Amino acid sequence: MSALTIAALRKTYDGKQVLHGIDVAIPEGDFAVIVGPSGCGKSTLLRMIAGLEDVTEGTIAIGDKVVNAVDPAQRGCAMVFQNYALYPHMTVAQNIAYPLKVARVPQAEKERKVHEAAALLGLSEYLDRKPSQLSGGQRQRVAMGRAIVREPQVFLFDEPLSNLDALLRVQMRIEIKRLHKRLRTTSILVTHDQVEAMTLADTLIVMNKGRVEQVGAPEDVYRRPASLFVAGFLGAPAMNLLPAFVRDDGGIALEIAPERAITECCGLKIGTPLVAGVRPEEIVMNGSAGEHAAVVEMVEQLGNSRIAYCGIDGRELAVFLPPGTERLEGRSVRLGFDAAAWHFFDEAGTRVEIGQARLPESGDAKVPVDTAALVSTHLE
């Protein structure tokens, strides 16, 4: 296994740039997950690592070797595709053994590796079956077995669970994580599913519009989003985002409640427009701190919890509640916010660290902006 380093990587199709200077370092043995909306460039990036797409600019290095010009078969990468890519006329054993056959591995060694991979993946009793006789999860394990026998330096997974039903997705997610713990091979998985991303990743890479928005441990990215996009993308339901501004006394207030500051002196210029964000689990219904009147418009029952969607001055906030059967729809409630739970973002959609970061101290005051439109712009 080897570390993977991507530096200043760019990709252009027919004069249109789709990747804009990607810089990522993935440690040896790490499980990295690239997550982002459809069309953000994550699969293109994975295919460039595999050598299936040419590099326009920048470098990709596996270990100490730059592999830009290295043939895909010689890069030491094994890729598991979304559609399994199995040969329908071959048995499970033949599918797993295929890369070894191409590499002219001796028969005895080939059989040993196939049986070892099959035992690891729980496929030993299916070796004589054809792909059409397998379930979706079993087919995906065959595809993984075919990658394992190559003993690659890097595993690449391109949305491997997207064709499975909900129960199988959970099972395969656990199997992939267990497999990585056993093999400790550097692995990169692409997905648009944030649950997969948060549960599988050692390192989480969030992409948007061909750029890396943030890289870090999943918990760190969730708790301290670096941008408005990350704040709104991660979380189910997503972070509540509300227009805010700096008051005359230096505190920050929400536009829906300008009379009450949600933070004390923040060190930013008076009148500075901001976007304030708070996670649904950080809001207390009928709390005593910083209360705001709201009306419960809808409640989703999740079994172990509930999500209440509350209308407050024409806006909707999601709030996590403990399980229960009490009818809340249509009821007037009060919402409490802990000052420490708020996140703040500037006009560029960048995180602002209150009390540390400073916006420009000189020059004219900022022209007021429509911060509601700003929220929409960075999340579209």
pLDDT at residue 203 in the model: 97
Predicted pLDDT of residue 84: 81
d(CA 71, CA 351): 41
Q: Mean per-residue pLDDT for 82-105?
A: 91
d(CA 337, CA 345): 18
**For residue 303, what are the CA distances in angstroms to 160, 193, 196, 319, 321?**
28, 21, 20, 15, 11
Superfamily designation of domain 231-379:
Nucleic acid-binding proteins (2.40.50.140)
Q: What's the pLDDT score for residue 375?
A: 59
Tell me the percentage of the chain whose pLDDT exceeds 70: 92
Per-residue pLDDT at 364:
36
Mean pLDDT for all residues in the chain = 88
* Domain parsing of the chain, residue ranges: 4-227, 231-379
- What tokens does 150 get? 């190559």
Query: What length does the chain have?
Result: 380
> Going by C-beta distance under 8 Å and a sequence separation of 6 or more, which residues neighbour residue 33?
188, 189, 190, 191, 196, 197, 200, 201, 203, 204, 205
Binned at pLDDT 50, 70 and 90, residue 259 comes out as: confident
Question: Residue 151 phi/psi, 5° resolution?
Answer: 50, 60
| Of 208 and 378, the one with more pLDDT | 208
Q: Which residues contact 38 (CB under 8 A, 6 or more apart)?
A: 192
CB 299 within 8 A of CB 329: yes
Give the bridge partners for 328, in sequence order. Answer: none
The helix (H) or strand (E) run that includes residue 317 is strand 315-321
User: Which pLDDT score is estimated for 373?
Assistant: 60
> How does DSSP classify residue 183?
H
Is the pLDDT at 368 greater than 70? The verdict is no
Preceding peptide of 237 cis, ω within 30°: yes
Q: What is the mean pLDDT of residues 358-377?
A: 46
**Residue-wise burial string across 144-154, b where 16 or more C-beta atoms lie within 10 A, e elsewhere:** bbbbbbbebbb
Residue 68 corresponds to which tokens in the numbers above? 């830009």
The whole-model pTM stands at 0.87
Which backbone phi and psi does 25 adopt, to 5 degrees? -120, 120
Residue 188, token pair as written in the block: 């990169």
Residue 360 pLDDT level (bands cut at 50, 70, 90): very low
Q: Spell out the CATH class of 4-227.
A: alpha beta
- Per-residue buried b or exposed e for 257-272, using 16+ beta carbons within 10 Å of the residue's own CB: beeebbbeebebbeeb
Backbone phi and psi for residue 214, each to the nearest 5 degrees, phi listed first: -165, 145
Q: Tokens standing for 109?
A: 């060694």
Q: How far is CA 334 from the centre of its chain?
A: 33
CA dihedral 38, 39, 42, 43 (to 10 degrees): 90
366 or 86, higher pLDDT: 86
129-158 pLDDT, tens per residue?
999 999 888 998 899 999 999 889 999 999
Tell me the pLDDT tens digit for each residue of 217-245: 999 999 999 999 999 999 989 999 999 99
pLDDT at 331: 93
**Pick from 274, 206, 276, 272: nearest CA to 240:** 276
Contact yes or no for 134/126 (Cβ under 8 A): yes
Nearest Cα neighbor of 280 from 241, 233, 333, 314 is 241
What's the rounded Cα separation, in Å, for the pair 317 and 92? 50
